[in-house]
Amino acid sequence: MTLILGAQAVMTGLAGKAARAGKADIRIRNGRIAAVGQLAPEPGEKTIDATDCVVYPAWVNTHHHLFQTVMKGVPGGLDMALRDWLVNVPSRYRGGVDEHVLRISARLGMVELMLSGCATIADHHYHYYPGIAFDGAAVLFEEAERLGVRFVLCRGGMTLKAPGYEVDTPPWMMPEPVDDIIDDVARLAGRYHDPDEYAFRRIVMAPTTPTYRVRPAELLQLARAARRLGVRMHSHLSENIDYLVFCRERFGMRPVEHCAEHEWLGDDVWFAHLCHVSDSEIEMMARAGTGVAHCPGANCRLGSGIAPAPRMKAAGMPVSLGVDGAAANEPGDILAEAHLAWYLHRAHKGAGGTVDGGADAVSVEDIIHWGTAGGGQVLGLKTGVLAPGYAADVAIYELSDPRYFGLHDPAIAPVASGGRPHLRRLLCGGKTIVEDDRIPGLDLAELGAQAREAVGKLRFH
């Protein structure tokens, strides 16, 4: 047993009045939260000193592209919108992502997330093509196990060529037959997928998009195969206006309607982005229990738009936070995402000129709920909440930086003040995976050197 003692404030991840537990202690037993409240140490119980710290549930990142972590700030793509950026950055540089580069990129991305207090990572990995020489899933699961995080592999892929690569298609941009994708998801599910609600490994069916990159009949095949295998479904959707134009011209309907026609709505489905959705589409998703990975950083960086996350939540959709790939969101940590989301929706509400300010659009508690409990709900995992029965995934933040001094309410510091607090502890399943802002067994300087080497390799590929 372990007891976290003396915290200045505990945020539970729950919504509304249950969001705050005050100056509470937390008892952990067998990798789960056993009690939250004023607790005294029991005989033989280990203690963790949380004096002057605030405690949050470990964050849950529901959308990422870890192979992009060594593609930050590519000069030619800095000022491009989504379509051109895709051609000139991730698609162009994928040819240099071999097994070693993927391993370093994934390790770096996971480390960034962990040091911000994230212990569950869902990675939309779509670096697949016919004849690929290595098993990317194995690399990703090995790195996640080494670091001790919960890892959800969203197995991407496409059956149609991407724009800009219709002719003279390089090997790494070649599509796969739909049967090969389904067979590989089945292989991965057999090897890695754990349906338990406290699982450390999950597999998800995740075509790159359900609109551009697969044929309608194949989209239906993928949905039925996923449900037959007992895995969830994920993809990008309505990230920019192009999705709406394409679906209207090709299918005569909106993107969410197209997904509904092909069995891609349900409480086992979540989409990344959803910046451009109508009220009727939100209602359709809410009725089905379909969730969203809200990615404000990447959407701002690419100028794609703003997902109406507060409206989605009010309608009953599960809302979570996704950091997305660092090639389109250089900070790569979930606290930066949380801070931006808190600001963004307030500005968005006030920008229309119809209200006197929008500061009531979202609270810090709302943002924490999205990024913790919301993420657990979207992934079907019992994490993201500091309450009895939930996984003991806990972030203990030390507010030792001047940016946190002078706060009347220390509980809001990690979200409201920006930056990254010193992480005294990060627990996943009750086990320490970060201690005193360090990851045991990781040489950060060596990782930096490896990342620079990988960047050089991609640059000259």
Instruction: Report which of 21, 15, 16 is spatially closest to residue 394, judged by C-alpha positions.
Output: 21
Q: What per-residue confidence (pLDDT) applies to 353? A: 60
Number of domains in the chain: 2
Give the CA dihedral 164, 167, 171, 172, nearest 10 degrees.
10
461: in domain:
no
User: Within this chain, do residues 339 and 221 fall inside the same structural domain, yes or no?
Assistant: yes
407 and 373 together in one domain = no
Tell me, yes or no, whether 117 and 139 share the same domain: yes
Answer yes or no: do 81 and 25 share one domain: no
Long-range contacts of 173-179 (CB under 8 A, 24+ apart): 173/91, 173/94, 173/129, 174/129, 174/130, 175/129, 175/213, 176/128, 176/129, 176/130, 178/214, 178/215, 178/218, 178/221, 178/222
Give yes or no: residues 301 and 406 share one domain: no
Considering the domain architecture, whether residues 420 and 287 belong to the same structural domain is answered as: no
First to last CA, the chain: 51
Whether 455 is in a domain gets the answer: no
Instruction: Output the six-digit token pair for 134.
Output: 């290595």
Of 13, 5, 67, 60, nearest in space to 37 by CA = 5
> Is residue 448 in some structural domain?
no
- Establish if 447 belongs to a structural domain: no
Question: What mean pLDDT is predicted for residues 244-270?
Answer: 97
Q: Is the pTM of this model over 0.95?
A: yes
Show the domain range for 260: 59-379
The per-residue pLDDT for 354 is 65
288-334: pLDDT as tens digits? 999 999 999 999 999 999 999 999 999 999 999 999 999 999 999 99
CA 107/CA 432 separation, integer angstroms: 18
CATH label of the domain that carries residue 418: 2.30.40.10
pLDDT band at 165 (very low <50, low <70, confident <90, very high): confident
Backbone angles phi, psi at 203, to 5 degrees: -120, 140
Same structural domain, 75 and 213: yes
Q: Can you give the pLDDT at residue 164? A: 76
Cβ(27)–Cβ(2) under 8 Å? yes
On the question of pLDDT at 355 being above 70, the answer is no
In a domain, 267, yes or no: yes
For residues 50 and 107, state if they share a domain.
no
Last residue of a domain, one of 359, 379, 399: 379
CATH number for 178: 3.20.20.140
Residues 69 and 46 in one domain: no
Please list the residues that pair with 35 across neighbouring strands.
Answer: 27
Domain stop point among 358, 379, 400: 379
Q: Are 363 and 404 within one domain?
A: no
Calpha distance 263→259 (Å, rounded) = 6
> Considering the domain boundaries, does residue 152 fall inside one?
yes
Structure tokens, 423: 């992480």
pLDDT tens for 80-112 read: 999 999 999 999 999 999 999 999 999 999 999
- Rounded CA-CA distance 344/100 in Å is 37
Is residue 112 domain-resident?
A: yes
Asked if residue 214 and residue 111 are part of one domain, the reply reads: yes
DSSP string, 316-381: T--EEE----TTS-TT--HHHHHHHHHHHHHHHHHTTSSSS--TTS--HHHHHHIIIIIHHHHHT-
Distance CA 416, CA 206 (A): 33
Pair (215, 165) in one structural domain: yes
Residue 210 lies in a domain: yes
Last-in-domain residue among 379, 400, 421? 379
**Angstrom distances, CA of residue 154 to CA of 7, 96, 123, 424:** 36, 21, 6, 30
